[in-house]
A and B are shown apart, each in its own frame.
Chain A
């Protein structure tokens, strides 16, 4: 597609359930990023993929969070045993490559844990 595509756009889940968020980056973009944005806050880095590898996962807040990328394309962010503090917008971004290239964001997946 023309831009970064994320799904679902909105997700309401019960506390304790697992959720999966999907990201389709721009075709040909080797670098992929996940960020989290809580209401009224800035963006928190979660994880960076170069190809299918994740050389930097330093922002994952706990072991309940994991992510993978396959085919140097689609990425899935999984949150296990969701907690209310996980409620946020999860933004995926991609760029041609690492190191200063323009990063393009998707519209985000709005997660609400009730």
Chain B
């Protein structure tokens, strides 16, 4: 059973719009959540992480957590064509403190000029 679920997309938005990416997780005890961006043929890079104590904003990016419904969202304001990539959601695996992450399959975002 998958622990992290994402809609594979593609999600297509016009330039300047808000892109909303969602991720659901199965472990109610998850305390931290990570968003990675992966350009085609490149390695994932961390763009945002939040803890269970609240949302976080960083420039055009906002990560929001809905603990009751067990999903975390990444909002990208003023979307740019350079934001076109696959966005991977990840949560730490179980209660182990190893740093091991469980990843969703990723959502592909296309920002059209």
Contact B43 A56 (CB under 8 A): no
B1: which A residues are within 8 A, CB to CB?
none
Query: For the complex, is B100 an interface residue (Cβ under 8 Å from A)?
Result: yes
Contact A45 B99 (CB under 8 A): no
Residues of A within 8 A of B (CB): 31, 33, 35, 40-45, 48, 50, 55-56, 91, 95, 97-108
Shortest distance from the beta carbon of B12 to any chain A beta carbon, whole Å = 17
Number of chain B residues whose Cβ lies closer than 8 Å to a Cβ of chain A:
25
Q: Main SS of chain B's interface residues?
A: loop
Residues of B within 8 A of A (CB): 4, 6, 8, 32, 42-46, 49, 88, 90, 92-93, 96-106
Could you list some 22 contacts between A and B, CB below 8 A? A31-B98, A33-B99, A33-B100, A35-B103, A40-B8, A42-B105, A43-B44, A43-B103, A44-B103, A45-B93, A45-B100, A48-B98, A55-B98, A95-B99, A98-B97, A98-B98, A98-B99, A100-B99, A104-B46, A106-B43, A107-B42, A108-B43
